[in-house]
């Protein structure tokens, strides 16, 4: 009965999960790590805290297993930039998180210099602080990081892999394609992209297939219990969730309701042309060379707005209160919350947007505010899905939902109402970790094919529309008015 471990190094913590050959979770461990906000709009993590959380979860999980793991997979918060010394293995600066906005002016400079068309064509991305390259540039030019033969630059997957294996510096195409430095059609680092971004390519990791052997766990990992275990799968968290949701056929679509929300549609093996308002990334590359691309809508803040209700306002004591509190009122009574705390992502791409609440009256209470937060998740997803359908020519006919907030029946019902299509929640909702486990196990023969993996997907609940299209449109129109008021705020 082979066991596979997935390390899910997310934005607020690390979860390590073990699954059996049916894809059934056998156990897990979780550790949070600190969020650092040195200035408004800046978000940082301590790479050593991330690695400590990885070690802590593995040390807790591995001894509880009856079988030695056959493979380890890694999935991670994407775009977050890490710099470390290859000689000592020590970080050279705090990691700059994907939510960080400090490089907005640098993106404006690149746009004004005429680089946008080339960037769109080769990377499938846009010039936005969200992505890694301008963060790498900041580390080199303003963060005190020196360029030289000992410099390693990478995303969180590369940092975790380096420490797991004792020095393998590699990544996969799903993560590389989020850096603004990777040519997604030619599938390699781009010299002209590096020149445009002002980032040297030599410190970047080697790009290997998402499903394939990257290296072996070093002796000291998890007290030696994982020594020699192959690390055989890597994917950015959203592509891993697409894989874990068994969205293997073109047109299949998922949304992960996490810190942010990310709608991904499998668009097949051919690299598509850039799509206005949306992103194109490599979804995964298998050991056979088989590649899938994904069209993506990136929503920066969904679950993070729940954290804000808890930690910033004290409206709730725990995230679990959100669903019941929001469901205690029939609607938000005209209150809209636009959670543009880190700007707006798809389909607006406005780094200068800022969060706002509109429609407040004397009768507005904490339940209405909680309801507005939940409704905002559904509205933002509708904006992305509509843009995706128009751009791709493929209308989304069903949505597979996962992520922490997907446990809220209210959210998924609101989502079905807004999209006017069924929304399905799988029985195993840790699809990000599951995808990483599947990629690793596929490489090591635990599973023999994508069809076998698809057979393990099981439905937990399905939500169908309960309101008319006209009713959904009326609520959504108010949301769009609120969004327009949030846009460009930081410029004024």
The Cα 184–Cα 279 span in angstroms is 11
Strand blocks (E) in 33-120: 44-45, 71-76, 82-85, 95-96
The Cα 367–Cα 373 span in angstroms is 10
The Cα 487–Cα 492 span in angstroms is 10
The Cα 178–Cα 417 span in angstroms is 32
Q: Would you state the pLDDT for residue 346?
A: 86
Q: Would you state the pLDDT for residue 66?
A: 87
* pLDDT by position in tens, the chain (length 492): 799 999 999 988 999 999 999 999 999 999 999 999 999 889 999 999 999 999 999 999 999 998 889 999 999 999 999 999 999 999 999 999 998 999 999 999 999 999 999 999 999 999 989 899 999 999 999 999 999 999 999 999 999 999 999 999 999 999 999 999 999 999 999 999 999 999 999 999 999 999 999 999 998 887 788 999 999 999 999 999 999 999 998 888 999 898 889 899 998 999 988 888 889 999 999 999 999 999 998 898 888 899 899 999 898 998 889 999 999 999 999 999 999 998 898 888 888 899 999 999 999 999 999 999 999 999 999 999 998 888 777 788 899 999 888 999 999 999 999 999 999 999 988 899 999 999 999 999 999 999 999 999 999 999 999 999 999 999 999 999 999 999 999 875
What residues contact 461, with CB distance under 8 A and at least 6 apart?
409, 412, 424, 425
Instruction: Find how far residue 235's CA is from the centre of its chain.
Output: 10
Where do the domains of the chain lie, and which CATH numbers do they carry?
A: 4-244 (3.30.420.40), 303-425+461-491 (3.30.420.40)
Q: Would you state the pLDDT for residue 111?
A: 93
CB 425 within 8 A of CB 460: yes
* 80: Cα within 13 Å, side-chain hemisphere: 29
Residue of 107, 228, 215, 89 lying closest to 154 (CA atoms)? 89
Residue 363, SS3 per DSSP: coil
Residue of 364, 230, 379 lying closest to 302 (CA atoms)? 379
The Cα 260–Cα 225 span in angstroms is 34
Residue 154's H or E segment, with its range, is strand 151-154
């Amino acid at each position: 009965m082979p066991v596979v471990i997935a390390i899910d190094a997310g934005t607020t913590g690390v979860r390590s999960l073990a699954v059996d050959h049916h894809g059934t979770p056998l156990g897990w461990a979780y550790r949070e790590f600190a969020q650092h906000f040195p200035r408004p709009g800046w978000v940082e993590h301590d790479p050593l805290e991330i690695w400590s959380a990885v070690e802590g979860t593995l040390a807790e999980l591995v001894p509880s297993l009856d079988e030695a793991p056959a493979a380890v997979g890694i999935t991670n918060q994407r775009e977050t930039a890490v710099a470390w010394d290859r000689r000592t293995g020590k970080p050279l600066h705090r990691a700059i998180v994907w939510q960080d906005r400090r490089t907005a002016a640098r993106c404006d400079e690149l746009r004004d210099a005429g680089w946008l068309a080339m960037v769109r064509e080769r990377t499938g991305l846009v010039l936005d602080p969200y992505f890694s390259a301008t963060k790498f540039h900041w580390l080199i030019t303003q963060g005190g990081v020196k360029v030289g033969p000992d410099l390693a630059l990478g995303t969180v997957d590369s940092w975790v892999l380096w420490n797991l294996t004792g020095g393998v510096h590699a990544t996969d195409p799903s993560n590389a394609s989020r850096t603004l430095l990777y040519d997604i059609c030619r599938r390699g680092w781009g010299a002209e992209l590096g020149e445009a971004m002002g980032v040297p390519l030599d410190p970047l990791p080697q790009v290997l297939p998402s499903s394939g052997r990257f290296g072996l766990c070093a002796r000291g990992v998890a007290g030696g219990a994982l020594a020699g275990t192959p690390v055989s799968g890597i994917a950015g968290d959203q592509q891993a969730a697409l894989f874990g949701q068994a969205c293997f056929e073109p047109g299949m679509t998922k949304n992960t309701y996490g810190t942010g929300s990310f709608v991904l549609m499998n668009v097949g093996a051919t690299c598509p042309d850039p799509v206005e308002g949306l992103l194109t990334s490599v979804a995964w590359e298998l050991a056979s060379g088989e590649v899938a691309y994904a069209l993506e809508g990136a929503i920066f803040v969904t679950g993070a707005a729940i954290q804000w209700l808890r930690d910033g306002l004290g409206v709730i004591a725990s995230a679990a209160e959100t669903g019941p509190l929001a469901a205690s009122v029939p609607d938000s009574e005209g209150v809209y919350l636009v959670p543009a705390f880190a700007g707006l992502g798809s389909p607006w791409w406005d780094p200068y947007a800022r969060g706002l609440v509109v429609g407040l009256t004397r009768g507005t209470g904490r339940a209405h505010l909680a309801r507005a937060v939940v409704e905002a998740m559904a509205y933002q997803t509708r904006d992305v899905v509509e843009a995706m359908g128009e751009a791709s020519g493929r209308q989304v006919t069903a949505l597979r939902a996962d992520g922490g907030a997907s446990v809220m029946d209210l959210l998924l019902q609101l989502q079905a109402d807004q999209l006017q299509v069924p929304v399905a929640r799988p029985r195993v909702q840790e699809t990000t970790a599951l995808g990483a486990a599947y990629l690793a196990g596929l490489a090591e023969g635990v599973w023999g094919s994508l069809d076998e993996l698809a057979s393990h997907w099981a439905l937990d609940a399905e939500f169908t529309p309960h309101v008319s299209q006209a009713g959904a449109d009326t609520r959504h129109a108010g949301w769009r008015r609120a969004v327009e008021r949030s846009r460009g705020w930081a410029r004024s």
